[in-house]
A and B are shown apart, each in its own frame.
Chain A
Amino acid sequence: MGHRMREVDVAEITEAVAEMSRQSNTNLPGDVFAALADARARETSPIASEVLDQLLLNAERAEATGLPLCQDTGVAVVFVDLGQDAHLVGGGLQEAVDAGVRRGYEEGYLRKSVVRDPLDRSTNTGDNTPAVVHLRLVPGDRVTVHFAPKGGGSENMSALWMLTPSQGRQGVVEAIAAQISAAGGMPCPPLVLGIGLGGTFELSALLAKRALLRPLGEPSPLSEVAELEREVLEAVNATGVGPMGLGGNTTALAVHIERHPCHIASLPLALNVQCHAARHMTRVL
């Protein structure tokens, strides 16, 4: 007798992605709103206060009007954690996700920001597909779908370094702070920083992106990683870049680090920069 598989129709994934496309772009997550309000309360610069006031008001207006928070409604990044006892039926996973993006972006009046050929800007796919899908097999029979639309302005300020092991902790903190300082107002601070520390070249980047899915400001469960998160956050806010690069106490709202073992010769470090419109939603099917 084979192991019992739970069947999940990919139409459910399409439905979840369509709904999350619309909702995530219109409703600022409560954790992000709270972090902006806390930052506003701490802010001492008049211009920074003005910018944060506008962001809080923007979240209210988006919810009231149904307009997107930001006109850059992003490329659709979808993390699928597939239980190994779940069996997807009814079609392909990528096709199902793309069908959800196509419907959600059309029905939600969201911007279509994807070109088929990176070197030919006239090749907009017209429906914001394809989505970027990251699949991971996990125990159980559930299918967890994370949806995180990613804007271009902040993505463009992301970076990856293959540090030498001797650069160590100080090298990590300095690289991140220097990158954010140089980026200035371009990635739309206040930011959320997703950091992948360790692994390999490609894994560090994936860890950095995945770190952005964590509820805002929830520290790493590993105490020494949580300590590093605090240190990086302090260093980044000490740059004084501030909201929109115009100065202030609030350059980043949170730093999330995902750590992974790595080769004795390596110290991979990836930084995925997320703007304050830190949109993320999750559905468990």
Chain B
Amino acid sequence: MEQMRTTVTEREIKKLTLPLDEKTACSLRAGDVVHLTGPMYTARDAAHARLMELINRGEELPIELQDQVIYYCGPTPAPPGRPIGAAGPTTSYRMDDYAPELHARGLRASIGKGNRSGHVRQALRRHHGVYFVAVGGAGALLSDRILSAEVVAYPELGPEAIRRLEVKDFPVIVAYDCLGGTAFVGEKPLA
């Protein structure tokens, strides 16, 4: 175990600060291992549905999107003394219908797990965004990297509420970059 763990630190890791500006996002390439530090928002199925309702009605959103990162995550309840419970990523494709519209409105990146639609990849290229994957099922490890969590919208959704997180050295991997590159097996770069 000791020997295995040292290999993580030996590898090149890009350390980035959030929010994520366009230039930095564009410097990332599929397959890069990245540690994120700064604020991000959680939102998953139900919160996305509500954001889209507001957009369709032309109303203001409860969070700022410009250069922000949305983490597809529905954590477990925070036990006493911790800001949040287990907090790994959920499967991203369920948010594919919403993501292009959010990127068009300034969203810089999302974090989840698993492959996504061609529409999402094209939106990333068009709006210079990035899709990161976090390791699914690493809920305890990722929780350790979350310094604070505050519900900022839709508290009635429980685990699906929108939370503002402060993270430190939050480990992710670039799955899709802004040039159309992919880290997933069986996918080709966008033509």
**Residues on A facing B (Cβ under 8 Å):** 37, 40, 46-47, 49-51, 53-62, 65-73, 109-113, 121, 124, 151-153, 156, 181, 184-186, 188, 239-247, 275-277
Contact = CB atoms under 8 A, between A and B. Distances in A.
B144 A61 contact: yes
Given A71-B76, A111-B74, A245 B114 contact: yes
Nearest to A121: B46
Contact of A185 (B46, B74, B114, B171): B114
B171 to A, nearest CB: 7
B191 interface: no
A71 B139 contact: yes
Given A67-B140, A246-B175, A121 B45 contact: yes
A76 to B, nearest CB: 14
A258 to B, nearest CB: 25
Interface string B1-42: 100110110010000000000000000000101000000000
A53 B139 contact: no
A14 B186 CA distance: 46
B136 interface: yes
Nearest to B79: A109
A70 B79 CA distance: 14
A53 B76 contact: no
User: Of residues A51, A73, A110, which shows the largest number of chain B Cβ atoms within 10 Å of its Cβ?
Assistant: A51
Contacts of B143: 61, 65, 67
A22 B77 CA distance: 13
B140 A61 contact: yes
A188 B136 contact: yes
Nearest to B141: A58
B183 interface: yes
Nearest 5 A-B pairs (CB), nearest first?
A186-B114, A62-B140, A188-B136, A58-B141, A68-B86
Interface stretch (B53-61, B88-96, B119-127): B88-96
A58 B140 contact: yes
A94 to B, nearest CB: 25
A59 B11 CA distance: 21
A51 B144 CA distance: 16
Given A37-B1, A54-B141, A240-B185, 4 more contacts: A54-B171, A65-B143, A68-B85, A244-B135
B191 to A, nearest CB: 20
Q: Size band of the B side of the interface?
A: 35 or more
Contact of A244 (B1, B31, B113): B113
B115 interface: yes
Contacts of B107: none
A71 B88 contact: yes
28 contacts: A47-B33, A47-B183, A50-B33, A57-B8, A58-B138, A62-B139, A62-B140, A65-B140, A67-B82, A67-B85, A67-B139, A71-B86, A71-B139, A72-B74, A72-B139, A109-B77, A112-B159, A151-B137, A156-B91, A181-B186, A184-B114, A184-B115, A185-B114, A186-B91, A186-B113, A186-B114, A244-B135, A246-B133
A239 B184 CA distance: 12
B87 interface: yes
Contacts of B74: 71-72, 111
B130 to A, nearest CB: 15
Contacts of B45: 121
A144 to B, nearest CB: 27
Contacts of B189: none
Contacts of A57: 5, 8, 138, 141
B63 interface: no
B173 interface: yes
Nearest to A66: B79
Given A66-B79, A70-B86, A241 B186 contact: yes
Contacts of B137: 55, 58, 69-70, 151, 188, 275-277
